Amino acid sequence: MNIFLQKINNIISRIGFVVFLIGHFLWFVIRYTILGKLALAGVPLLLFTYLVFWESTGEVTNNNEAKSTLLIPAGASFHQVADSLIKKDLLSNKTLFLLLGRITGKEKKVRAGLFDIPRNLSPWRLLNYLENAPPHRSKVTLPEGILSDKMASLLQEAVGIDSARFVSLVNDSAFANKLVPGAHSLEGYLLPETYFFEWKTSEEKIITHLVQEMLDIFDSDSVRKQLELISRDPYQILTLASIVEGEALVDSERVVISSLYYNRLRLGWPLQADPTIQYILPGPPRRLLYKHLEIDSPYNTYKYAGLPPGPINNPGKLSVLACIFPVASPYLYMVAIGDGSHKFSRTLREHNRWHAKFNEVRRQHRKNARKKSASGK
C-alpha cells in the first residue's frame, strides 16, 4: 500500500514540475517575445469574436414559426428597440447588442416598421438583419359588399393606416378623377379581395391598388365587347353589381339576379331593390318597413326607376362579372326564402304566392322562437 501511495506522489510531483516548466515558458514567451504579446492580446479578441459571431447557431429562415413579429415605432431609440427585442425573447445580451450598435454605427440604421425577426440570432446577426429586414406583409380580407368606411377600419387594424384619411381620399373628387377620369368618388371601385400589404403602406397606394384591381376586370377584349353589346359603361356595371352584391348570398344566383334587374330596367320598371333602402338608412341593416320605402332619395329604387346615382357598396368580382355577362331569364320578381337563396317569378301573381308562403314560414318561425323563449329553453 505504501509503495502504491509513493508512486502516486511521484506522478503528481512530475506533473506539477511539468506544469511549472510550461508556466514559466509561457511567462518568458509573453514577456520577452513579440509573438507572445500578440498571442496574449488575441485572447480577448477571440473571446469577443466568439460572443459576437458564434454566440448562437441561429440562421435566418423563411419559416414563420421560427420568427416573431416586432413593431418598431417611428422615433424609437436604439435602447427602446433593444428592450422590445428582450421582451419578445429575441435578444439575450442587451449590453453586447448596444455596444455593437454604437461601435459599428448600425444603431442609426435600424428602421421603424413591422418586421418578422428570426429567433436565436447572435447580437451581430440580429443587427445586420434589422438593418436590411424586409417589412412584414399583413394579410387583410375585405369582404364583398363592404363600404369604404368599414374597409378603412379593417386596413387600419391590419396595416396601420389612417382610416379617416382613407375615407377622405375615397370621397375626394380630385383624387378620384386622377384614378378614374370623370369619377367623383371611388366608392364601388375598391375591389374586395384578400390582400397582403406592408405595414404603414400609404392610404394613396392602397386605394390605387384596389382601384386598379377593379379596373383590370374591364380591361379584357371580351369584356369591352360585351359592354358595347349591352350598352353599359363600367360605372353603371358597378352600380348594378353593388345591388346584386347586396342581394346575393348564393354565388350561382348572381347571374339570375342580374338578369332580373336587367329585365326590369328594359321595361322601365323600378328595381325595387331592398339593399338600396338599407343604404339610405343610418346604422346597421334592419328589417324594412313600408314607411322606409317612402323615403325620398335618388337611391330609393322603390320610388325612382332606373339605376341609383352610384354604387351602394364595393362589389366583388363575381357580382361584377354577373352584371357584365348576365344569363337570359324571364324573371321579374324574387323573394328571399330565409336560407340565403331566392325564389324567382315571372308574374306578380306567382310572386305573391311565394311571398305569402314564406311570410307564413317567417311568422311561424317567430312564433316558435317566442314560445321557446317563454319556456326558458
Average pLDDT over residues 67-95: 90
Supply the pLDDT for residue 58: 45
> Which whole number is the average pLDDT over 211-239?
97
The answer to whether residue 63 scores a pLDDT higher than 70 is no
Mean pLDDT of 348-356: 90
pLDDT-derived band at 286, boundaries 50, 70, 90: confident
Indicate the fold that domain 137-217 takes in CATH: Dna Ligase; domain 1 (3.30.1490)
Q: Which of 119-128, 148-157, 265-274 is predicted with the least confidence, judged by mean pLDDT?
A: 119-128
DSSP β-bridge partners for residue 198: 137
CA distance 164 to 105: 38
Q: Could you tell me which residues come within 8 angstroms of residue 209 by beta carbon, excluding any fewer than 6 positions away?
A: 195
Q: Stretch 27-56: mean pLDDT, rounded?
A: 53
Angle CA 179–233–144, to nearest 5: 70
Out of 41-50, 71-80, 260-269, 281-290, pick the least confident: 41-50
Cα 17 to Cα 266: distance, rounded to the nearest angstrom: 112
* Lowest mean pLDDT segment, chosen from 6-10, 53-57, 72-76, 370-374: 53-57
Mean per-residue pLDDT, 94-100? 90
Contact at 8 Å (CB) between 334 and 257? yes
Q: How many CA atoms lie within 13 A of 97 on its CB side?
A: 24
Beta strands in the chain (DSSP E): 67-72, 113-118, 137-141, 194-198, 333-336, 342-345
Residue 292 has a pLDDT of 92
Range picked from 107-111, 193-197, 356-360 for highest mean pLDDT: 193-197
25 pLDDT more than 80? no
Q: What is the band of 57 on the pLDDT scale with cuts at 50, 70, 90? A: very low
Choice between 16 and 107, residue whose per-residue pLDDT is larger: 107
- Least-confidence region, from 14-18, 140-144, 191-195: 14-18
Between the alpha carbon of residue 81 and those of residues 70, 90, 121, 138, 208, the distances in Å are 9, 11, 15, 21, 33
Compare 121 and 285 and report the one with higher pLDDT: 121
Decide if 64-132 and 137-217 have a common fold: yes
User: Shortest CA distance to 355 belongs to which of 274, 279, 240, 298?
Assistant: 274
Q: Give pLDDT tens digits for 100-127.
A: 999 989 889 998 889 999 998 989 999 9
Question: Is the confidence at residue 169, as pLDDT, over 80?
Answer: yes
For the chain, how many helices (H) and strands (E)?
A: 15, 6
The pLDDT of 183-211, averaged and rounded, is: 97
For the chain, give the mean pLDDT: 86
pTM of the model as a whole: 0.77
Ordered by start, the domain boundaries in the chain are 64-132, 137-217, 221-332
- Overall average pLDDT of the 159-163 stretch: 95
For the residues of 18-53, what is the DSSP string, one character each?
A: HHHHHHHHHHHHHHH-HHHHHHHHHHHHHHHHHHHH
What pLDDT is stored for residue 161 in this prediction? Answer: 95
Q: What is the pLDDT of residues 298-312, one digit of tens each?
A: 999 999 999 999 999
pLDDT value of residue 287: 85
Instruction: Give mean pLDDT, residues 14-40.
Output: 57
Phi-psi region of 309 (alpha: psi -120 to 50; beta: other; left: phi over 0): alpha
Just give the CATH number of 64-132.
3.30.1490.480
Rg (CA), the chain: 36
pLDDT-derived band at 20 (thresholds 50, 70, 90) equals low
pLDDT at 274: 94
Q: 376: pLDDT confidence band, cut at 50, 70 and 90?
A: low
